[in-house]
Structure 1
Amino acid sequence: MLDDFILRAALAGLGVALAAAPLGCFVVWRRMAYFGDATSHAALLGVALALATELPVIGGVLIVALIMALIVSSLSERQVSTDALLGVLAHAGLALGLVAVSLVPGQRVDLSAYLFGDILAVTIGDVVMIWFGAVLVALLVVWRWQALLTATLNPDLATASGGNPRREQLILTIALAITVAVALKVVGALLIAAMLVIPAAAARPFARTPEMMAICAMILGAIAVFAGLAASFYFDTPTGPSIVSAAAVLFALTTGLSPALQRR
């Protein structure tokens, strides 16, 4: 029999993988990897907010992640170098978060748990919150799938057909903030963006349609979670980094298979 904490960790990781994978496809298609970095790194400011105000950590992270995502989204529409802007915000958010957490009076915080995740310590309540967030993200993506896809591939066509690309960007931003909030305890602020991008990038060689890419990304994300948990259990390695390392191995394997798949 597996211990209860392993089952809780597996359920939590699976919830994050299923939420992050389809969202990660849009991050890859829109070339928004730095967008995910900026939002996830700001999660530490949310931790500081939660500690200072006695909010639940997931609530503080969600508030700050949403604010940061909206700021990044609005600034990226201006005539500013997007890479430079997102790079500044990502690293500034992380640094300010570390400083803010250290300044919260009367709190002794294990920063490594927030930086790299502490999936083995998740409670039943954490699992419920993660799955609630994952289902909410899934419903948002399914509800707006076609509109999000059109706005991503051809914003002019989306506008001409009566759509609103800015509204779809806002929906994507909200979904990203929810994913960051629920994923913090699983893989940590430094590795959330990796769980968004790597499974989606690994799924590309198998994808003939956008829908197939999203499904493959979910499957690969789930495999990475289970493989990372197994590696952590048997080799006594940090669990969050082990999950991301497993995802990176899957990416390397699928990239190596890509030429053979393209010849079929």
Structure 2
Amino acid sequence: MNPNRVIAILVGLVLLVIVVLSSVFVVDQRKFAVVFAFGQFVRVADDAGLNFKLPAPFQNVRFFDRRIMTIDNPEAERYITAEKKNLLVDSYVKWRIVDPRKFFISFKGDERMASDRLTQLVRSALNEEFTKRTVREIISEQRDEVMQSIRKKVEVDAADIGVEIVDVRLKRIDLLAEISDSVYRRMEAERKRVANELRSTGAAESDKIRADAERQRDVILAEAYRDAQRIKGAGDARATALYSEAFGRDPQFAQFYRSLEAYRSSFKDKRDIMVIEPNNEFFKHLNKK
């Protein structure tokens, strides 16, 4: 075979391999692949695996990360509340690319530029939210509401640049040293006022419950005494009637029985002494033979 022809075939094969290799690219599942033709956006290849394009220099490919990224400022930033108090706020933002075309048009594919832009948006939203609220609302009462409001405001601008805001969090909120003491004193005074109000309310309720319990006790005792007296009276009346009926049948026995009762009452104790005449009427039943 002609040596020149062999060389030509080899050169053709090498060129073919180069063309084929420059027409094939692999998309990682963690990446977006954007195809450009002479610097102009053509399409987005977001299916993981083997993909094809025109060989270079007709088309080329750039890859963008589709995972969630974090913007975490190393230093806390200062914001002013509705009370004109300075706060040091440490926050972070979670975001990701959702529209590679808009992202490339906005930042030429530079993630650092996108991070700076999102930082400015979040800072502006934080400043707007903080100026409408007091220190107490931001720290304890409306913290979640503040984060949700910031996220919603940033999402609108982020959508225009091909970015999705996944989350916005306030990690730490600190007062400046010069105002911490005054704020703490005011919070302490507020807590004491609330505690005193609760104690007063509790004391009033206690007195009310105690007075009601005493009233119920008096009513119960009065009703019990009334019922006891009624029962006692009925019993005495019944006893009197029985005595009268029994003694009416034999008056002499009744007189004798009453005398025995009198003796029993008078000489209940051995130390009891009576000084009377022996023929006294009191001992008439003892003197009988």
Give 1 or 2 for the bigger CA radius of gyration: 2
TM bin (shorter chain): under 0.3
Bigger RCO (CA 8 Å, 6+ sep): 1
> More helix by proportion, 1 or 2?
1
With normalisation by structure 2, the TM-score equals 0.21
Greater strand proportion = 2
